[in-house]
Amino acid sequence: MDLQTVMQELEALGKERSKKMYLSNGAHEPVFGVATGAMKPIARKIKKDQALAEELYATGNYDAMYFAGVIADPKAMTEADFDRWIDGAYFYMLSDYVVAVTLAEADIAQDVADKWIASGEELKMSAGWSCYCWLLGNRKDEEFSETKLASMLDQVKETIHDAPERTKSAMSNFVTTVGVSYVPLHERALQTAKEIGPVEMVRENKKNSILKAADDIQKQVERGKIGFKRKYVRC
């Protein structure tokens, strides 16, 4: 399938309700409003196509950019490719749910995520922390350095309350994910979450969110979900 055909198919799947939801979360035109599940039949036909993914991402259309992440071949992408994608991710649904998710399937994931976390830029930092959430929720515990993750928990504890708004959310999710999906640091993550306490996240044109990682971990304890791993990162 070529770019024009995919764009036509995506446009035909657009729904006004989904479009309004995406716009209210920070998307801007052009956007069709395609539900992510509705993209699966097209994705099954294409499977992976990095060249087409690059063309779709470059359109600036939210739905096309999202679909680019679905058909991308992460192992064919270089650090420069991921940097280009994060530079084009203009709001959190792209940075955290397209770029970070795609990066999480690449062999260079931790190196790139570390760089973004250290960047000081809100959406890069958010994508970096989010990437670790996707990684921890999918890969075996032995693929991570316990010492490194412990120091990252300390970093969150020391900086989350002063972090940019979207980064706060990703950092809180990181603490929760370590507490749920990385068994060696479950207790430490829970203790860190309690020490952090509630974190207020200011949201534009919406009610502020109160992030409570300790409560989120505790809920998963009660559900017997400690050690949970996803089979796949991408849908």
Neighbours of 2 (CB within 10 A): 8
In a domain, 161, yes or no: yes
**Domain, as residue range, for 212:** 109-235
In a domain, 136, yes or no: yes
In a domain, 17, yes or no: no
* pLDDT at residue 234 is higher than 80: no
- The pLDDT tens digits of the residues spanning 68-125 come to 999 999 999 999 999 999 999 999 999 999 999 999 999 999 999 999 999 999 999 9
Under a CB-based contact definition with an 8 Å cutoff, are residues 8 and 54 in contact?
no
- The pLDDT tens digits of the residues spanning 50-79 come to 999 999 999 999 999 999 999 999 999 999
pLDDT confidence bin for 235, thresholds 50/70/90: low
- According to DSSP, the residues that pair with 210 across neighbouring strands are 200
* pLDDT at residue 198 is higher than 60: yes
In a domain, 203, yes or no: yes
Which tokens hold the place of 216? 């989120």
CA distance 103 to 107: 8
CA atoms within 13 A on the CB side of 160: 28
In a domain, 181, yes or no: yes
pLDDT for the residue 100: 98
In a domain, 65, yes or no: no
DSSP 79-130: HHHHHHHHHH--SHHHIIIIIHHHHTTSTTHHHHHHHHHTT--HHHHHHHHH
In a domain, 55, yes or no: no
pLDDT confidence bin for 232, thresholds 50/70/90: confident
Closest C-alpha to 128, from 162, 158, 156, 161: 156
Under a CB-based contact definition with an 8 Å cutoff, are residues 179 and 213 in contact?
yes
| Average predicted confidence (pLDDT) for the chain | 97
pLDDT for the residue 233: 80
CA distance 185 to 226: 11
Q: What is the 3-state secondary structure (H, E, C) of 173-232?
A: HHHHHHHHHCHHHHHHHHHHHHHHCCEEECCCCCCCEEECHHHHHHHHHHCCCCCCCCCC
In a domain, 98, yes or no: no
Mean pLDDT throughout 140-164? 98
* pLDDT at residue 173 is higher than 60: yes
CA distance 86 to 230: 24
Domain tally for the chain?
1
CA distance 175 to 191: 10
pLDDT confidence bin for 206, thresholds 50/70/90: confident
Which tokens hold the place of 81? 């490719």
* pLDDT at residue 231 is higher than 90: no
